[in-house]
Amino acid sequence: MLYDLRMSISYDYPGAASSARHLLRLLPAQISGLQHVSAQRMQVRPKPVEWLEGTDFFGNRTVEVALDQPHEESLFEIAARVERFGPGRLLDVSPRLEDLPRDLALHQSLEPEAPHHFLGSSPRISPHPEMTAYAHEVAEGSATVLELVLRLGERIHADFDFDPEATEVDTPALTAFERRHGVCQDFTHVMISCLRGVGVPAGYVSGFLRTVPPEGQPRLEGADAMHAWVRCWCGHQAGWVEYDPTNAQQVRRDHIVIAYGRDYGDIAPVKGMMRLAGDHSTTQSVDVIPLE
Amino acid sequence: MEGQQADPLQRFLSGYAPPAGVPDELLDGRGAVRPVWTDFISRLAAMSPERLETRISHGDQYLRDAGVYFRRYGPADASRRDWPLSHIPLLISEEDWTEISAGLVERAELLEKIVADIYGENRLVSHGHLPASLVAHNAEWLRPLVGVKPRSGKFLHFVAFDIGRGPEGNWWVLGDRTQAPSGAGFAVENRIATSRVYSDIFASAGIPRLAGFFREFRDTLMAMRETGESRIGILTPGQMNETYFEHAYIARYLGFTLLEGDDLAVQNGRLMIRTVDGFQPISVLWRRLDAAWVDPLELREGSQLGTPGLLRAVREGNLTMVNALGVGILETRALMAFLPRLSEVLAGKPLRLPNIATWWCGQDSERAYVRENAERMTLGDAFSTGLLYETGDVTPPSTGFSDWIERKGAGLVGQEKVRLSTAPALIDGELQPRPMSLRVFLARTREGWTVMPGGFARIGQSASSNVVAMQKGGRVADVWVHARGSDTEESIAAPARGTVARTPPGALPSRAADNLYWLGRYVERSEYLVRLLRAHHARLAESDAPGGPLLRLVAAHLKGYRCDPREAVPEGLIDTIRAAHGSAGHVGDRFSVDGTLALADLERTAIGFSNRVQTGDDATRAMSVLLRKLNGFAGLVHDNMYRFTGWRFLSLGRALERAANTSACLVAFADPIAPAGSLDMALEIADSVMTHHRRYTVSTNRETVVDLLGLDALNPRSILCQFNDIEGHLEHLPGTGEHRPMSPLSRAVLRARTDLALQTPSTLDTTCLTRLKDEIADMSDQLTLAYLG
H or E segment to which residue A54 belongs: strand A50-55
Q: Which of A258, A129, A100, A121 is nearest to A192 (CA)?
A: A121
More confident site: B112 or A218: B112
- Looking at residues B495-518, what average pLDDT do you find? 73
Residues of A in contact with B297 (CB under 8 A): 21-23, 64, 271-273
Does residue B285 contact residue B313 with C-beta atoms inside 8 Å? no
CATH architecture of A97-266: Roll (3.10)
User: Is B127's Cβ below 8 Å from some Cβ in A?
Assistant: yes
Cα B478 to Cα B28: distance, rounded to the nearest angstrom? 21
| CB within 8 Å: B125 and A108 | yes
Rounded to the nearest 10°, the torsion over CA B538, B544, B548, B554 is: 20
Instruction: Show the 3-state SS of B23-91.
Output: CECCECCCCCECHHHHHHHHHHHHCCHHHHHHHHHHHHHHHHHHCCEEECCCCCCCCEEECCECCCCEE
Between B93 and B2, where is the model more confident? B93
- Cα-based distances in Å from B233 to B125, B272, B396: 35, 11, 44
- B7: alpha, beta or left? (left if phi > 0; alpha if psi -120 to 50): beta
CB atoms within 10 A of CB B93: 16
On the question of pLDDT at B316 being above 50, the answer is yes
Determine the 3-state secondary structure of B674 from DSSP: coil
pLDDT of residue B504: 58
CB of B787 within 8 A of CB of B279?
no
Question: How far is CA B333 from each of CA B132, B322, B381, B554, rounded to the nearest angstrom?
Answer: 16, 22, 8, 64
Q: pLDDT tens-digit profile of A189-225?
A: 999 999 999 999 999 999 998 877 777 777 766 677 8
Residues of A with CB under 8 A from a CB of B: 19, 21-23, 50, 52, 56-58, 64, 66, 104, 107-110, 114, 116-117, 119-121, 123, 265, 268, 271-273
What are the helix and strand counts (H, E) for chain A?
Answer: 7, 15
Q: Tell me the sheet residues that pair with B525.
A: none
pLDDT of residue B106: 97
A120, B268: Cβ pair inside 8 Å?
A: no
| Distance, CA of B129 to CA of B347 (rounded, Å) | 14
Over range B349-364, report the average pLDDT.
93
By percentage, how much of chain A surpasses pLDDT 90?
A: 65
Task: Look at B497 and A125; give whichever has higher pLDDT.
Answer: A125
Q: Cβ contacts (< 8 Å) between A121 and chain B: which residues?
A: 137, 139
pLDDT of residue A63: 96
Q: At B294, give phi and psi (nearest 5°).
A: -80, -20
- Report the SS3 class of residue B355: strand
Has residue B246 got a pLDDT over 90? no
A80 close to A28: Cβ distance less than 8 angstroms: yes
- What is the gyration radius of the CA atoms in chain B, in angstroms? 31
Residue intervals in chain A for CATH 2.60.40.2250: 2-85+269-290
Percent of chain B at pLDDT exceeding 90? 59
Q: Is the predicted pLDDT of residue A106 greater than 70, yes or no? A: yes
Largest interatomic CA distance in chain B? 100
The shortest CB-CB distance from A116 to any of B128, B132, B297 is to: B132
Taking only the tens place, the pLDDT of each residue in B722-756 is: 999 999 999 888 876 555 667 888 889 998 999 99
**CB neighbours of B86 closer than 8 A, spacing ≥ 6?**
B425, B426, B457, B459, B475, B476, B477
Least confident range of A279-283, B54-58, B90-94: A279-283
> Phi and psi of A35, rounded to 5°?
-150, 125
Q: What average pLDDT does the segment B212-225 reach?
A: 93
Does B126 contact chain A (CB < 8 Å)? yes
Least confident of B17-26, B288-297, B542-551, B749-758: B542-551
Nearest beta carbon to residue A114 from set B132, B144, B308: B132
Tell me how far apart the alpha carbons of residues B430 and B783 are, in angstroms, rounded to a whole number. 59
The pLDDT value given to residue B103: 97
User: What does the pLDDT read at residue B738?
Assistant: 59
pLDDT surpassing 90 at residue B498: no
- Residues of chain A found within 8 Å of residue B146, distances taken between Cβ atoms: 57, 110
* Residue ranges of chain A assigned to CATH 3.10.620.30: 97-266
B735-762 CB burial, b ≥16 within 10 A, e <16: eeeeeeeebebbebbeebbeebeebebe
Judge whether B526 and B573 are in contact, CB under 8 Å. yes
Using the predicted structure, report yes or no on whether residue B492 has a pLDDT greater than 90: no
Q: From start to end of A85-199, where are the E strands?
A: 161-162, 181-182
Chain B, 720 to 759: residues with Cβ < 8 Å from chain A are none
DSSP code of residue B144:
G
Helix axes B244-254, B184-197, angle to 10 degrees: 80
Looking at every residue in chain A, the average pLDDT score rounds to 89
Q: Enumerate the residues of chain B whose CB falls inside 8 A of the CB of residue A58.
A: 143
Q: Cα distance from A105 to chain B (closest Cα, Å)?
A: 8
Q: How far is CA B396 from CA A183, B374, B732, in A?
A: 38, 10, 66
Reported as a single tens digit per residue, the pLDDT across A14-67 is: 776 677 899 999 999 999 989 999 999 999 999 999 999 999 999 999 999 999
Question: Cβ of B132 and A107 within 8 Å?
Answer: yes
Alpha carbons B715 and B550: distance in angstroms, whole number = 26
- Cβ separation B136–A271 shorter than 8 A: no
**Gap between the Cα atoms of B118 and B755, Å rounded:** 68
Q: Name the DSSP class of B698.
A: S
Residues 6+ away with beta carbon under 8 Å from B32 = none
Looking at mean pLDDT, say which of A66-75, B114-123, B177-186, B194-203 comes out highest: B114-123
Q: Which of A18, A23, A100 would best serve as a mutation to test chain B binding (most B beta carbons within 10 A)?
A: A23
Report the half-sphere exposure of B81 (CA within 13 A, side-chain side).
19
Of B538 and B470, the one with more pLDDT: B538
Query: Residue A13's pLDDT is what?
Result: 80
Q: Are B433 and B463 in contact (CB under 8 A)?
A: yes
To the nearest whole percent, how much of chain B has pLDDT over 70?
91
Supply the pLDDT for residue B37: 95
**What CA–CA distance (Å, rounded) separates B423 from B428?**
16
Instruction: Decide if B136 and A50 are in contact by the 8 Å CB cutoff.
Output: no
CB B362 within 8 A of CB B334: yes
| Fold topology of A2-85+269-290 | Immunoglobulin-like (2.60.40)
* Interchain contact, B312 vs A64, CB within 8 Å: yes
Antiparallel, parallel or unpaired: β A181-182 and B377-381: unpaired
- Which of B260, B297, B510 is the best residue to mutate to test the A interface, defined by the most A CB atoms within 10 Å of its own CB? B297
Higher pLDDT, B523 or A68: B523
The total number of residues written for chain B in this structure: 789
Please name every residue paired with B286 in a beta bridge, in sequence order, or none if there are none: B234, B322
Model confidence at B85, in pLDDT bands (50, 70, 90)? Answer: confident
* pLDDT 10s digits, B7-30: 888 888 988 999 888 899 999 989
B-interface mutation test, from A25, A109, A110, most B Cβ less than 10 A away: A110
Q: Positive or negative, the Cα torsion across B736, B742, B746, B750?
A: positive
Flag whether pLDDT at B434 surpasses 50: yes
Check whether B547 has a pLDDT greater than 60: yes
CA gap A242, A192 in Å, rounded: 11
Work out the angle at residue B444's Cα, subtended by the Cα atoms of residues B440 and B445, and round it to the nearest 5 degrees.
Answer: 125
Does any CB of chain A come closer than 8 Å to the CB of residue B136? yes
| Local structure of residue B237 (DSSP, 8 states) | -
What value of ipTM does the predicted structure carry?
Answer: 0.93
Sort B226 into a burial class: Cβ within 10 Å, 0-12 / 13-18 / 19+: exposed
Residue A274's pLDDT band, with cuts at 50, 70 and 90, is low
Nearest alpha carbon to residue A130 among A185, A171, A190: A190
Cβ–Cβ gap A108/B144 under 8 Å: no
Read off the pLDDT band of A273 (50, 70, 90).
low
Q: Are A244 and A229 in contact (CB under 8 A)?
A: yes
Across the interface, do A272 and B308 touch by the CB < 8 Å criterion? Answer: yes
More confident residue, B9 or B145: B145
For the residues B395-409, what does the mean pLDDT come to?
85
**Residue B474 reports pLDDT greater than 60:** yes
- Between vectors from CA B80 to CA B79 and to CA B85, what angle results, nearest 5°? 135
- Strand ranges in B446-507 using DSSP code E only, listed in sequence order: 448-451, 456-459, 475-481
Put residue A255 in one of left, alpha, beta given phi > 0 → left and psi -120 to 50 → alpha: beta
Report the DSSP pairing between strands B278-281 and B270-275.
antiparallel
